[in-house]
């Protein structure tokens, strides 16, 4: 558990034990050890054997000062992923900054479920994908083929879901939407870093999806320099767009749940990506599902990461919108964290 207490790091402390013990007012011993191990691995290339052998004591003065700065930030409760600027997710390392959520293991489980479904229960949806394929700024569909699966990730954040699915699902074209300028920049950087040529990042407001889908609007594009460009006025969607799959991990934590959350999450991760009003916990799910009910091809699939507290309400909402074959899946902690539904339209 986190604590308000902060210990000032002594620059002379250079043993592995002294380093992790300086974090124990905030973290349990095992977690503190794992954090320091990660820092020493990422920043200095130290293996566990190096650490046990005392190599941490061989750091140069400059390396020691850098380590001191890192430890001080960690003592203040800043997540190690933000301090290092990276986070592991589904077997890959993504760049992260405070403008996006740190990818969680349960979100990786959602990707694994989707990938497994694509092998065991491939989506069979109606519609001509060559006509529906989303275009890039040049008017062409990158890596488009007639039978490419068109996947949309709403509230993409760091792009971890969009990129993971794009790289792991053969013959797919993936689009990631977000409203945060920080998220768009970070996600686009991850696309380029991982050379995910079949993944596109675009500006779109999840809460405006239903309204935008009902009007004749132009959509967000990425320019020739691969910079995310925000169009003038409201984010827009072509009304003819059809997707084989829509996936989203939207904000779903109610304000009343803050009391049970870790202090470092509340102080460092973006509220925009975390919270919804207590009086409307399905705010994002409803907007996305309403859009998906008309934007999915017949037989297409909608996947959500959900708030376990509102599993029944989320299911009921999807049923009322005409979705079928609704299934809930538990995460590794036994919580009802993921939901899948099929389109009938």
The string over 284-306, giving b where at least 16 C-beta atoms fall within 10 Å of a residue's C-beta and e elsewhere, is: bbbbbbbbbbbbbbebbbbbbbb
Higher pLDDT, 343 or 217: 343
Q: What is the pLDDT of residues 270-327, one digit of tens each?
A: 888 888 898 999 999 999 999 999 999 999 999 999 999 999 999 999 999 999 999 9
* Rounded CA separation 75/4 (Å): 10
What's the pLDDT at 11?
47
* Rounded CA separation 220/203 (Å): 6
% of the chain with per-residue pLDDT over 90: 68
Is the pLDDT assigned to residue 211 strictly greater than 60?
A: yes
* Rounded CA separation 208/121 (Å): 31
Neighbours of 53 (CB within 10 A): 13
* Rounded CA separation 137/225 (Å): 10
Cα Rg of the chain (Å, integer):
22
- C-alpha angle 179/166/128, rounded to 5°? 90
Is the pLDDT assigned to residue 206 strictly greater than 80?
A: yes
Tokens for 213? Answer: 């889908």
Q: What is the pLDDT of residues 47-73, one digit of tens each?
A: 999 999 999 989 999 999 999 999 999
How would residue 255 be classed by pLDDT, with cut points 50, 70 and 90? confident
Find where tokens 């699939």 sit: 301
Is the pLDDT assigned to residue 178 strictly greater than 80?
A: yes
**Which three-class secondary structure string do you get for 16-84?**
HHHHHHCCCCCCCHHHHHHHHHHHHHHHHCCCHHHHHCCHHHHCCHHHHHHHHHHHHHHHCCCCHHHHH
Mean of per-residue pLDDT scores for the chain: 85
Tokens for 127? Answer: 């519609």
Higher pLDDT, 121 or 334: 334
Q: What is the fold, at CATH topology level, of the domain defined by 97-342?
A: Rossmann fold (3.40.50)
Domain map (residue ranges) of the chain: 16-77, 97-342
């Amino acid at each position: 558990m986190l604590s308000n207490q902060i210990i000032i790091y002594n620059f002379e402390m250079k043993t592995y034990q002294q380093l992790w013990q300086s974090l124990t007012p905030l973290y349990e011993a095992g977690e503190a050890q794992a954090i320091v191990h990660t820092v020493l691995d990422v920043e200095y290339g130290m293996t566990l054997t190096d650490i046990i052998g005392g190599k941490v004591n061989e750091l140069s003065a400059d390396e020691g000062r850098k380590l001191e700065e890192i430890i001080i930030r960690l003592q203040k409760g800043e997540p190690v992923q933000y301090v290092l600027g990276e986070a592991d997710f589904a077997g890959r390392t993504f760049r992260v900054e405070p403008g996006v959520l740190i990818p969680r293991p349960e979100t990786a489980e959602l990707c694994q479920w989707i990938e497994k479904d694509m092998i065991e229960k491939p989506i069979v949806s109606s519609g001509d994908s060559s006509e529906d394929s989303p275009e890039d700024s040049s008017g062409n569909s990158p890596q488009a083929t007639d039978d490419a699966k068109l996947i949309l990730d709403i509230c993409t954040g760091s792009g971890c879901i969009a990129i993971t699915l794009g790289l792991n699902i053969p013959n797919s074209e993936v689009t990631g939407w977000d409203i945060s300028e920080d998220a768009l920049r970070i996600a686009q950087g991850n696309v380029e870093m991982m050379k995910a040529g079949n993944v596109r990042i675009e500006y779109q407001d999840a809460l405006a999806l239903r309204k935008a889908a009902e009007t004749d609007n132009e959509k967000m594009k990425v320019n020739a320099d691969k910079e995310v460009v925000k169009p003038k006025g409201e984010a827009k969607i072509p009304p003819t767009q059809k997707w084989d799959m829509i996936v989203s991990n939207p904000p779903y934590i109610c304000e009343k749940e803050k009391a049970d959350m870790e202090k470092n999450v509340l102080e460092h991760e973006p509220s925009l990506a975390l919270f919804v009003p207590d009086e409307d916990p399905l705010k994002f799910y409803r907007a996305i599902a309403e859009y998906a009910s008309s934007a999915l091809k017949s037989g297409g699939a909608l996947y959500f990461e959900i708030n376990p507290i509102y599993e029944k309400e989320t299911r009921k909402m999807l049923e009322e919108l005409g979705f079928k074959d609704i299934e809930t899946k538990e995460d590794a902690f036994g919580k009802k964290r993921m939901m899948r539904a099929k389109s009938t339209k």
